[in-house]
Amino acid sequence: MTNPFRFRSRRLGAPEPATEFIPMSETALNEAPSATIDPDRSLSWLRRALPVMKAHRGVFITSLVLSFVGLILQVQIPNLLNKAIDNSIVRHSVPISHYVWWIVGLGAAGGVSGYFSRRYLFETAYDIEYDLRNIIYEHLTKMSFSFYDRVQSGQLISRANSDVRSVNLYMTFAPLILVQCSIAVVAFVFMLSINVPLALVAMVTMPFVYVTGVKMRKSMFPVSWLIQARLADVATIVDENVNGVRVVKSFAAEQQQVRALSAAADRLQWGYIKDADLRARFTPLVQNLPQAGLALVLLFGGYMVIHGSLGIGAILAFNAYLLMLQAPFMMLGMLIMMGQRAAASAERIYEIIDEQPTVSDKPGAIDLLDCKGDLRFKHVDFAYDTERAQLVLADLDVHIAPGETVAIVGRTGSGKSTVARLLSRFYDVVHGSIEIDGHDIRDLTLASLRANVGVVLDEPFLFSVSVHDNIAYGRPAADFEDVVAAAKAAGAHEFITHLSDGYDTVVGERGYTLSGGQRQRIAIARTLLVNPPIMVFDDATSAIDVKVEQQIHAGLTDLMEGRTTLIIAHRLSTIALADRVLLLDQQKIVADGTHTELLGTTPLYAEVLAQAAEFEREADQAGASDLGGGSTRPEDGHGLAELLGAVRGRNPS
C-alpha cells in the first residue's frame, strides 16, 4: 500500500531538494484482491461478479466436484438396498453382509468427501468475501470529497458489510445448492433404470414446482431490495448517534433519537414481515409438492407390487430416492430467496463501485519535484454544487511567493477554508487554475501534490491508536526523536508526557479523550513531522489558549523560514505571524497588504477582526476555551478595543 506522504529530511527544518518523487510505502500485510468487478454495466450482476469467482475457481471447483462425488456415493445406497432385499432376503442368493460392507464403505467415503468439500467451500467463501470487501474499500479510498459530502457513512458501512455478505453467500453456496439439486437428476436416472412408468409418475409434480419458484422469485426481489436499504438506514442512525453522542447527550435528546431509531426499525420490520409473508406463501408449495409425488409412487407402486410387476425392494428404493429429492427442493426455495437478496445487495454495491472520483490523476500526470512553494491562484471560480452554480469563490486571483507567509481573513462562510481545500485539490476549480511552481495542480499526481502541501484542519481528527502513532501517521517509520521534536514544535510535548502512558497513550475514538486544544496540537505535530515545503493552517489554533498558542508560534517561526505558509485565522496573535494579509469578501480578495496597512486603510478588515474577537471573548466567558487553558485572552481583549476604535473611525496607530 502506498502512502502519499513523503519526507525530505530526517530532522525538522527546511526541506531538502529532491531529484525524484519517492512515495513513502509500507509492506502490505494483506494481499491485494485477486480480481475485481467487471465494469460493464450492461451485464447481469452475477456476470459482473464472475471475475472474482474465477480467481478462486481451483479450490471452488474442487469443492463442487467432491460434493458431487459424495452425492453419487449417496445415491448408490438405495440401489444397494434394492439388491439386498431381492438377492439376500427374497432369493437368499447373496450373503447380506456383502451389501452391508458396501453400504458402510460408501458411507465412509461419502463422509470424507463431504468433509473436504465443505472445508474448501468455506475457504472459497471467505476468500471471495475478503476480495469484495477490499474492492469496495479500495474504491472508497479513491473517491473524492464531493462523494463523502453527500453520502451517509452508515450507508457505506451497510453496503460493505451486510450487502457483501448477501452477495458472498449466494456466489458460493448457490453453486453448491445446484450441485445438491443435481442429485435429483442422478436419482431420476436410477429410478428410470428400475421402472420407467413409475419414474415418470414420481416426477409429474416438477413442472408445478418450477412455476411456483418463478413466481416466488419475482415477488421477493423488490422486498429484498427494500430490506437491504432499510438495514442501511438503521445503520446510519446508529453510526451518527455513536459519533455524535456528545451532541445527543448535551441536548438531552436520547429519547428523540430512540424514537428515530424505532421508526426506522418499524420500517425495517415491515419489510421483514412482508418477506416472511411471501416465504410463508411460496416455500411450503416448493417444499411439499415433491411429497405429492411420493404419494403417487406409493399408490401406483403399491398397485404394481400387489400384482407382481414390481419387487418390494424396488418400491423401497423409489421411496428412498424420492426422499433424496425433497432436500434439494427445500434448498431450491432457499436458493431463490438468497438470489433475490443477493441481487438487491449487488445493485447497492454497484451503485458505489460504478461511481468514479471527480478528482483523480489525469493521463500523463507528472510528479511535483523539488517544490519551491510558488503559488498562484489564477481567476479561480469554484462552487461546491456545480448544478446550482452558486459560487463560493469568484475570480480569485492572487500570487504567493516562495517562502512567504500569508494570512487569509474573512467573515464566516466567506470561503477561507475552501482556498485550502482547493490548494490540496480536495476539489477541482470550476474555472481558472491553481499553480505550484508554474505547474497547474491538475497536471500533477495527487500523491506528489499532497506530499508537498501539508494541511492542518480546523477540526483535527485523531485515530484510535497511540499518540505516537497519530503524530507519525504521515511517517510511520520516523524515529522517536523526530516525533518528539515535532511534538515540541507544536507545543504538545509537555501535556503528552503527563498522560498515563506518555506517547504510548491510546486516545479514544476521534481523540475525544483529549481536549480540543490538545487534539489540535497533535494534528499540528503530525503535519510538521511530514516536513512539507508548503503548509496550510486552517484555523489550526482556534481551540488553543493564548499562552500555549504563543509557544507554538515561537516554534513555528523557525519552521516557517524558507517555507511557503498559508494561515487561515481570525486571531490577531496568529495573523501577526504573516508577512501579508489577504481579506476575502464577496467571493474574492478585496484587500491585500500587511496587518497594519489594512487596519489603517480598510474598515471592513477591522470590522471582521472585531467581530471575531468579540465572538471569542463571549466564548471564553461561557467556558468554551481549551480544557488545558482557561485563559480569558487579555491580549485579544486589547486587540478588540483597538479594532472597535478603528471601526468607529479612530486609527489605533
Q: Concatenate the DSSP letters of all residues of 554-604 into one string.
A: HHHHHHTTTSEEEEE---HHHHTT-SEEEEEETTEEEEEE-HHHHHHH-HH
Between CA 41 and CA 18 the distance in angstroms is 43
At 308, is the secondary structure helix, strand, or coil?
coil
Instruction: Out of 323, 353, 383, pick the residue that ends a domain.
Output: 353
| Together in a domain, 331 and 464 | no
Q: What is the pLDDT of residue 377?
A: 94
CATH number, domain containing residue 594: 3.40.50.300
Is 607 part of any domain?
Answer: yes
Domain that holds residue 605: 375-647
| Together in a domain, 321 and 425 | no
The three grid cell numbers given for residue 648, joined into one nine-digit string: 468607529
Q: What is the pLDDT of residue 641?
A: 43
Is 197 part of any domain?
Answer: yes
* Dihedral sign, Cα of residue 396, residue 362, residue 530, residue 513: positive
* Residue partners of 294: CB distance under 8 A and separation at least 6: 202, 319, 322, 323, 326
**Helix 96-142 × helix 45-54 angle, to 10°:** 110
474 DSSP 8-state letter: S
CATH number, domain containing residue 123: 1.20.1560.10
Is 364 part of any domain?
Answer: no
| Together in a domain, 389 and 338 | no
The three grid cell numbers given for residue 419, joined into one nine-digit string: 482556498
Contact in structure between 522 and 492 (CB atoms under 8 Å): yes
Q: Any idea which residue has 434448498 for its cell?
A: 331
The three grid cell numbers given for residue 195, joined into one nine-digit string: 421402472
Between CA 356 and CA 437 the distance in angstroms is 29
Question: Ramachandran region of residue 535, left (φ > 0), alpha (ψ -120 to 50) or beta?
Answer: beta
Residue pLDDT, tens place only, 46-80: 899 999 989 998 999 999 999 888 888 887 877 77
| Together in a domain, 409 and 483 | yes
Run means of pLDDT, 10 residues per run, the chain, 653 residues: 35 53 59 84 90 90 90 80 76 80 86 90 90 89 85 80 87 85 78 81 75 74 78 78 69 78 86 84 74 76 78 76 69 76 87 89 89 92 79 90 90 85 91 93 91 84 88 88 89 89 84 80 88 85 65 68 83 80 88 88 86 64 44 40 41 37
| Together in a domain, 432 and 338 | no
Is 34 part of any domain?
Answer: no
- Proportion of the chain in helix, strand, coil states, percent, rounded to 5: 60, 10, 30
Total count of domains within the chain: 2
| Together in a domain, 67 and 137 | yes
- DSSP assignment of 121-155: HHHHHHHHHHHHHHHHHHHHHHS-HHHHHHS-HHH
Is 237 part of any domain?
Answer: no
Contact in structure between 568 and 407 (CB atoms under 8 Å): yes
| Together in a domain, 381 and 325 | no
Q: What is the pLDDT of residue 635?
A: 39
Q: What is the pLDDT of residue 650?
A: 37
Q: What is the pLDDT of residue 491?
A: 83
| Together in a domain, 343 and 457 | no
Contact in structure between 436 and 371 (CB atoms under 8 Å): yes
